[in-house]
Amino acid sequence: MAARTLLQFFHWYTPSGGTLWREASQKADSLAKLGITDIWLPPAYKGAAGGYSVGYDSYDLFDLGEFDQKGSIATKYGDRAQLEQACHSLEEAGIRVIHDVVFNHKMGADETERVQVRRAEPENRTDIEDIAFEASAYTKFTFPGRQGEYSKFMWDMKCFSGVDHIEDPTEDGIFRLVNEYGDGEWSDEVDSEKGNFDYLMGSDVEFRNKAVYEELKYWGRWLPQQLPCHGFRLDAAKHIPAWFFRDWVGHVRETVDKTLFVVAEYWHPDMDVLHRYLEQVDEQLMLFDVALHHRFFDASKSGGDYDLRTIFDDTLVSVSPHHAVTLVANHDTQSLQAMEASVETWFRPLAYALILLREQGVPCIFYPDLYGARYSDQGEDGEDHEVEMPAIESLPKLIEARQRFGHGPQTEMFDDPGCIAFVRHGTAQAPGCIVIVANGEGREKSIDLGPDRAGDGFRDFLGYCQEEVIADDAGRIVVRVNGGSVSVWVPSDAI
C-alpha cells in the first residue's frame, strides 16, 4: 500500500462561489496519480455566514448545502450534490476522504432566550462571579430551513455552557450560563490555558448534557451514511473535554469503520501536554505536530544561524511518531490569520522533504503550497494587505519521491548544524533515497551505503544537482546540496 500522504484541500481564503467541490472532482485522478492518498476537506455543513463561511462558525451539522439557511442553499464550497460527486470521485480514484468537524461551538442562533449568566474573567476563566443576572443570549437553534429533516433535535440554553455576547443588558465578554450541568463550572479535561480553556467562541457546547452527547454521536454515524467517509479531522480539541472524544472516536469506529483515520487539532507545542491528552483519549487518535511546525518557522526566519541538528528535538514525530501528523502550514498559520506563523518560502521545500521522505509521521500538504494562492484581507494594523503564496515548484516531485523512494529503514546523519542528511535504505521491492538539506552554504556529505552498492550511480531526483555520483568499491558515496536547498539522491536507473 502507498505511504499515506494527506492533502489539506482548502485554505482560509479559498474563493467563494461554490467551486471547491467541483475542483476536487476534477482533480481526483491527477491527485491519485501524484501520490495523494487522503484528502482533508473543509467543514461541509452550513456555517453562520452561509455561502461565505469557511466552516468553523458551525451552524447546522445536518445541512450539507441542501437547505435555504443563512442566506444560501450551497455552502461556500458548493451544494450537496457537488459534495457527493466530489467524495465519490475521490473514493473512485483511490483517495480516502477525511471530513472536518467543529463540535466545540455553534454560531448564528435563530432566536435569543432569557438566561441566567455569571461573568467570567477572560484571562482566568476559573474566576467566575458568584452573582448571576438575567440577560438575553443567542442560544436557540431551530433550523427553520431544514424543518426537522435528518434530525429533529433543537438546541437551547441547556445545550451550552457559555456565550461571549448578551443583550438586555448588552455586553461582550465571557459569560458562564447557569444550568444544571457542571455545578456552574467549566468542563474538566480541557487545556489549562487561561485557567480553563473550555470556552473559545460563540455558544459553547455543553458536552455534559446527555442529549447533546447522543446527538453528536448520532451525527458521527449519520455522515458516513450520506457520503464516503474514511476519517475525521477534529477541530479545537484543546477546548473540548478529552473524555468526549475518547468516547466519540470509539463509538464511530465501532459503529462505522474500525479503520477510520482520526486526527485532532490540539494546538499546543508542549510534549507533556500532548502526552497527557493522548493518554486521556486512550491514544485512539493522531495529533498535528505543532512543535515541528514552529521549528520550521524558526528555522526559516533564522537562515544559516539555525542548528538543523535540533529541528526534531521535542517534537511529536520524534517522541510519539505513530500519533504524529506533520505539517509545514495550514489555514490557521497562513499570513493574516490570528495564529500566523508562515514558514518562509525558501525553507518550504526543505521542510516538505523532512516530512515527506522520512519514515516517521503522516505528512500533510497544504493546498497553496501545491497550487499557489492569492488573496487579500485586513491585517492586525487595520490595513488591507495583498498576499501571494507561490506554489512550491519541487513539491510534486517530493510527493512522487515519497511514493517511489521513501522505503526501507532509515539512518540519520545529523552531524553538522548547517547540513543534515538521512538515508532510506530501500527494500527488496522498492528503491530508497538519500536526502540532504542545507540552510546556509552548499555542502557535501560522505554516506556509507555498504559494499553491496559499490559502483552504483546516483542522481538528484529534484534536478538541482546535475552530475551523477558513483559509489566507490566500499559503497561510500559523496553527495552534495546547494546552499539553502535540498537534494534527493536516488539510484540513477530509477529515474
DSSP letter (8 states) at residue 310: G
Max distance between CA atoms of the chain, in angstroms, equals: 84
Residues in the annotated binding site: 104, 198, 204, 239, 304
For residues 115 and 198, membership in a common domain is answered with yes
Packed helices 271-280 and 242-255: angle between N→C axes, nearest 10 degrees: 50
DSSP letter (8 states) at residue 91: H
The residue type of 128 is I
Q: Which residues are catalytic?
A: 235, 265
For residues 291 and 417, membership in a common domain is answered with no
Domain boundary among 344, 376, 401: 401
For residues 214 and 317, membership in a common domain is answered with yes
Q: In the chain, how many domains are there? A: 3
For residues 201 and 217, membership in a common domain is answered with no
For residues 297 and 414, membership in a common domain is answered with no
Residue 324 is assigned to a structural domain of this protein: yes
For residues 29 and 88, membership in a common domain is answered with yes
Residue 162 is assigned to a structural domain of this protein: yes
For residues 18 and 65, membership in a common domain is answered with yes
Buried b (16+ CB within 10 A) or exposed e, 115-126: bbbbbbeeeebe
DSSP for 235-251 reads TTGGGS-HHHHHHHHHH
For residues 262 and 230, membership in a common domain is answered with yes
DSSP letter (8 states) at residue 312: T
Residues in the annotated binding site for Ca(2+): 104, 198, 204, 239, 304
Residue 1 is assigned to a structural domain of this protein: no
CATH number where 417 lies: 2.60.40.1180
Placement of cell 546552499 in the chain: 483
For residues 100 and 111, membership in a common domain is answered with no
Residue 303 is assigned to a structural domain of this protein: yes
For residues 235 and 371, membership in a common domain is answered with yes
Residue 14 is assigned to a structural domain of this protein: yes
H-assigned helices in 320-430? 348-356, 367-371, 395-405
pTM of the full structure: 0.96
Give helix then strand counts, H and E, for the chain.
10, 27
DSSP letter (8 states) at residue 167: B
pLDDT per residue rounded down to tens, the chain (495 residues): 579 999 999 999 999 999 999 999 999 999 999 999 999 999 999 999 999 999 999 999 999 999 999 999 999 999 999 999 999 999 999 999 999 999 999 999 999 999 999 999 999 999 999 999 999 999 999 999 999 999 999 999 999 999 999 999 999 999 999 998 877 899 999 999 999 999 999 999 999 999 999 999 999 999 999 999 999 999 999 999 999 999 999 999 999 999 999 999 999 999 999 999 999 999 999 999 999 999 999 999 999 999 999 999 999 999 999 999 999 999 988 777 666 778 999 999 999 999 999 999 999 999 999 999 988 877 777 778 888 889 999 999 999 999 999 999 999 999 999 999 999 999 999 999 999 999 999 999 999 999 999 999 999 999 999 999 999 999 999 999 999 999 999 999 998
Residue 349 is assigned to a structural domain of this protein: yes
For residues 127 and 222, membership in a common domain is answered with no
- 435: containing domain: 407-494
For residues 254 and 317, membership in a common domain is answered with yes
CATH number where 217 lies: 3.20.20.80
CATH number where 142 lies: 2.40.30.140
Domain boundary among 379, 401, 423: 401
Specify whether the backbone of 260 is left (phi greater than 0), alpha (psi in -120 to 50) or beta.
Answer: beta
